[in-house]
Amino acid sequence: MATPRETGEVIGSRGTAATADVQTSPSDATPEAVLNNETTHIGGNLNYTGANLNPNVFSGDASEFISSDAYGRTATTANIYFPLLSNSNPVSITVVGSFTVDTVDFVTRGTVTSANMTLQGISSGRVARIDFTGLSGVVNSEALILRAASAGSSITFNF
């Protein structure tokens, strides 16, 4: 087991990534380490880095909210928007499980799977739009929410 770094010890001076990646308190995290994302824990709190953050995955267990930025388009379709953090536009989606499209009053407009979802070409690295079909009773411009219908449901944007 690695020993805690000494005050002022340079990150990486012991030669192993595991030693460099664990901080024992906020005061021993050097500004250089924080700026370079060289830490995974600071003061016992998880510090999200590119190695453990998946901003392109939207997932949840049954009934959990996935997106609240959704709007009815026609009586059977809706547009749902997802915030992304990428320098590239998404080229496809990978869908696991099923989802319900509900009104803000929790009236279900339909259950959707990958067969009912289409990633739109206007999607960018900042906002992606998926169109959902197979719904019923949707009103144009009606505010909608997307919820997971089954445990482990997820939508992954691929770049």
Based on the domain organization, do 48 and 61 belong to the same domain? Answer: no
Which residue type sits at 77?
T
Q: Is the pLDDT of residue 77 over 90?
A: yes
- Running DSSP on this structure, what letter comes out for residue 17? H
Contact 80, 129 (CB under 8 A): yes
Q: Which residues pair with 154 in a beta bridge?
A: 59, 96
- Looking at the fold, whether 92 and 42 belong to one and the same domain comes out as no
Task: Indicate the number of domains in the chain.
Answer: 2
Report the range of poorest mean pLDDT among 8-22, 82-96, 98-112, 128-142: 8-22
Do 70 and 142 share a domain, yes or no? yes
Answer yes or no: is 71 within a domain.
yes
Same domain (yes/no): 17, 62: no
Instruction: Give every CB contact of residue 126 below 8 A, 6+ residues apart in sequence.
Output: 83, 84, 85, 86
Domain match, 37 and 101 both? no
Q: Over 60: is that where the pLDDT of 15 sits?
A: no
Tell me, yes or no, whether 48 and 69 share the same domain: no
pLDDT tens across 106-143, in order? 999 999 999 999 999 999 999 999 999 999 999 999 99
Tokens of 152: 């482990």
In the numeric block, the tokens 């070409």 are attached to 121
Whether 91 maps to a domain, the answer reads yes
Write out the DSSP string of 37-104. T--SEETTEE---TTT--TTEEEESTT-EEEEEEEE-SSS-EEEEEE---SS---EEEEES-EEEEET
Q: Is the pLDDT of residue 13 over 60?
A: no
- End-of-domain residue from the set 53, 71, 88: 53
- Is the pLDDT higher at 94 or at 39? 94
The mean pLDDT of the chain is 78
Q: Are residues 81 and 128 in the same domain?
A: yes
Q: Both 92 and 152 in a single domain?
A: yes
Q: What is the pLDDT of residue 48?
A: 57
Q: Is residue 97 part of a domain?
A: yes
pLDDT digit string, tens, across residues 34-70: 444 444 544 555 555 655 567 788 888 877 878 878 9
Q: Does 122 lie in the same domain as 152?
A: yes
The predicted structure's pLDDT at residue 96: 94
Residues 62 and 139 in one domain: yes
Q: How many CA atoms lie within 13 A of 74 on its CB side?
A: 6
Assigned domain for 139 exists: yes
61 and 33 assigned to the same domain: no
- Residue 2 resides in a domain: no
Type of residue found at 115: A
* Shared domain check, 97 and 33: no
Query: Does 1 reside within a domain?
Result: no
Residue 31 CB-half CA count within 13 A: 0
On the question of pLDDT at 100 being above 50, the answer is yes
Report the percent of the chain where pLDDT is more than 70.
67
| Residue bearing the bigger pLDDT, 93 or 67 | 93
Are the C-beta atoms of 21 and 40 separated by less than 8 Å? yes
Domain that holds residue 70: 57-158
Rounded to whole angstroms, how far apart are CA atoms 142 and 150? 24
